[in-house]
Amino acid sequence: MSMALAGIFSALICASLVLSSCGSVQNYLDPAGPAYAGGSVPADRTAPDSIRVVTYNVKFARKVPLAIEELRRAPGISGADIILLQEMDSEGVGAVAESLGLEYLYFPASVHRSNGKDFGNAILSRWPIGEPRKIVLPHASPLSDQRRIAAAATVDAGGLRIRVVSIHTETLWMSSGKRIEQADSMLQVLSREYAHVIVGGDFNTPFRSSIEDLEKVFTRRGFRRASDGADWTAKILPFGLFNVELDHIFTKGFEPVRSGTWKEAEASDHVPLWALVRPGR
C-alpha cells in the first residue's frame, strides 16, 4: 500500500470510527469474569497428527446463523478442531458451539456502545477445555474508553496440552505502537510451561509495517505466524474499498502446514482465517 493510499485509508477509517463511536461504554475489568462455558466433548486417547485452527471476527455477532453455516461448510474451515471468535456475545457463542458440537469458553470485554450487547472473545474446541483465564489488555480506546481482552484456556488434545488464546486488539483509532503493546502484554503473561501454544484473532494490522512489527514481538518469544501468506482477511469501509490483513494465527511448538481464508464469507466484514499445523516432535 502506497503512502498516499495509506493516508487516505487512515483518514477514512478514522472518520468512520468517529461516526460510530457515540455513547459511553461499560467495561468488564474483573479478570475473573463474567465468564461463560458450556458444551461437552469426549476426551481423545491419542494426540492428533495435525490441528485445524480457525479465527473469525463475526461483526457484533449480528449474523450468527450465517456464520454457523460458513463454519460448517466452507472449504478449509469445515471440521475445524479449534475455533477462535471475536466480537461475540454469550448467546451467539453458545449457538455456534451447540450447532458444531464443540465445547466453549467465552469472556466478554465490555458492553459495546453501538448495540448495548456484550462484546468479547471465545474459544471453541472439539477437545476438553480447562484452565480459563481472561487477560485484560492495557490502553483504553482514546475515543470511547473501551477496553479489549484476550481469552485464554488449555485444550487437552489426547494428552497434548495446548494453551490457546483468542485476542482482539484495539482499532486504528489507537496508535500502532499501543496495539503492539496490547499483544505483547498478552504474551508476557503466558506461562513458559506450555510447550504448545496457539494465539489467533483480530490484531487490527492494516499496513505491512504493522504486521512486521507484530511478527517481531511474537518471533522473539518463539512463535511463528502459521497464517503467513493467507492473504487479506477483512473488507474495510467504506463499501469494502480496502481489503486488509487484520487477522492472524501464531503458534509455538507447531509446524505450519498451510493456511488460507474463505473470501466468500458474508456473515461479517472479516472473513474466516484458517491454518493447519502439526505438533512439533
Encode pLDDT of 82-122 as tens digits: 999 999 999 999 999 999 999 999 999 999 888 889 999 99
The backbone region for 186, taken as left when phi is positive above 0, alpha when psi lies in -120 to 50, beta otherwise, is alpha
Strand order in the sheet with 247-252: 129-136, 149-157, 160-168, 196-202, 247-252, 224-225
Task: Report, as an integer, the average pLDDT of 43-48.
Answer: 91
225 strand-pairing partners: 250
Helix (H) or strand (E) run with residue 221 in it: none
Q: Where are the domains of the chain?
A: 35-279
Tell me the three state secondary structure of residue 8. Answer: helix
- Which CATH number is 35-279 given? 3.60.10.10
For residue 30, what pLDDT is reported?
96
pLDDT band at 185 (very low <50, low <70, confident <90, very high): very high
pLDDT at 3 over 50: no
CA 139 and chain centroid, separation: 18
Q: Where is pLDDT greater, at 214 or 15? A: 214
Residue 20 or residue 102, greater confidence: 102
Query: CA 40 → CA 33, 98, 99, 119, distances in Å?
Result: 21, 9, 12, 24
Q: Is 149's pLDDT higher than 80?
A: yes
In 158-267, the DSSP E strands lie at: 160-168, 196-202, 224-225, 234-236, 242-244, 247-252, 254-261
| C-alpha grid cell, residue 92 | 451467539
Predicted local distance difference test score (pLDDT) of residue 25: 85
- Cβ-based neighbour number of residue 263 at 10 Å: 13
Looking at residue 113, what is its pLDDT?
Answer: 83
